[in-house]
């Protein structure tokens, strides 16, 4: 009997707690925030991923992955 291959499940690139740079729409301003949730992504395509983030001042917002860049750990 041969082993069945395991199904691979989609895992978003940015995980809970990841610190990110947030680029504003139509703005050169860049802010920092923390990922608090990866939204459900039925397509399982990274280019369709959205995230909820929390800014340092406590404000919550939702961004498409294209507006977020992980901050390298030092």
Domain total for the chain?
Answer: 1
Task: Kindly report, residue by residue over 13-68, the tens digit of the pLDDT.
Answer: 999 999 999 987 676 778 999 999 999 999 999 999 999 999 999 999 999 999 99
User: Distance from CA of residue 59 to its chain's centroid?
Assistant: 17
Asked, for residue 14, whether it belongs to a domain, the answer is: no
Which helix or strand (DSSP H or E) is residue 35 part of? Answer: strand 30-38
pLDDT for the residue 29: 77
Half-sphere exposure of 49 (CA within 13 A, CB side): 20
Residue range of the domain that includes 60: 19-70
The domain that holds 46 is classified in CATH as: 2.30.30
Q: Is the residue at 12 inside a domain? A: no
Dist. CA 43–CA 57, nearest whole Å: 33
pLDDT value, residue 28: 72
| Alpha-carbon distances, residue 57 vs 7, 21, 33, 61 (angstroms) | 40, 15, 9, 12
Q: Give the pLDDT score at 70.
A: 97
pLDDT confidence bin for 6, thresholds 50/70/90: low
């Amino acid at each position: 009997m041969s082993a069945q291959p395991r199904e691979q499940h989609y895992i978003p690139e940015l995980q809970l707690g990841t610190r990110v740079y947030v680029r504003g729409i139509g703005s050169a301003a860049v802010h920092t925030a923390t990922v608090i949730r990866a939204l459900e992504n039925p397509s399982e395509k990274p280019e369709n991923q959205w995230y909820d983030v929390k800014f340092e001042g406590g404000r919550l917002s939702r961004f498409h992955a294209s507006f977020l860049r992980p901050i390298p750990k030092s």
